[in-house]
């Protein structure tokens, strides 16, 4: 069964304190892995798509990387406005998206 787990469940950082979020997945075949940001009471906002191991994508303070079993979302020098829940999802061949439970990030000023 296709599965996605994310860790930690919640993360509290001081402004400027860099860290990483983890997304581990088990799928029979991976078409793509997606990162989303979700603010409270709103829909997920698309951030990145990664297709193959070794691929990296960057956007402002965020960088996503992919290996054969996991993906990391690195946050460099975060700001309070980066506080949100970050969702990881995989797109397995022949199946619908499978979402992880998310990591709730709080960045304190």
Partner 1 sequence: ETGVTQTPRHLVMGMTNKKSLKCEQHLGHNAMYWYKQSAKKPLELMFVYSLEERVENNSVPSRFSPECPNSSHLFLHLHTLQPEDSALYLCASSQGTATGELFFGEGSRLTVL
Q: Which residues bind partner 1 (CB under 8 A)?
A: 4, 31, 34, 36, 41-46, 49, 87, 89, 96-102
Nearby residues of 69 by Cβ (< 8 Å), 6 or more positions away: 24, 25, 26
Which residue is associated with the tokens 């860099």?
18
CB nearer partner 1, residue 43 or residue 109: 43
Residue 93 is given by DSSP the state T
Please report how close the Cβ of residue 18 comes to partner 1 at its closest, in angstroms.
Answer: 26
CB nearer partner 1, residue 40 or residue 109: 40
Please report how close the Cβ of residue 13 comes to partner 1 at its closest, in angstroms.
Answer: 21
Strand partners, 26: 3
For the chain, the C-alpha Rg in angstroms (whole number) is 13
CB nearer partner 1, residue 36 or residue 86: 36
Please report how close the Cβ of residue 14 comes to partner 1 at its closest, in angstroms.
Answer: 25
CB nearer partner 1, residue 18 or residue 106: 106
Please report how close the Cβ of residue 98 comes to partner 1 at its closest, in angstroms.
Answer: 8
Q: Are 34 and 48 in contact (CB under 8 A)?
A: yes
Nearby residues of 14 by Cβ (< 8 Å), 6 or more positions away: 107, 108
């Amino acid at each position: 069964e296709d599965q996605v787990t994310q860790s930690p469940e919640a993360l509290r950082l001081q402004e400027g304190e860099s860290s990483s979020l983890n997304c581990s997945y088990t799928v029979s075949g991976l078409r793509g892995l997606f990162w989303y940001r979700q603010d409270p009471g709103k829909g997920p906002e698309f951030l990145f798509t990664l297709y193959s191991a070794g691929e990296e994508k960057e956007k402002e303070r965020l960088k996503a990387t992919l290996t054969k079993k996991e993906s990391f979302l690195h946050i460099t020098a975060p700001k309070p406005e980066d506080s949100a829940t970050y969702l990881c999802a995989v797109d397995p061949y022949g199946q619908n998206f499978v979402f992880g439970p998310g990591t709730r990030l709080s960045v304190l000023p």
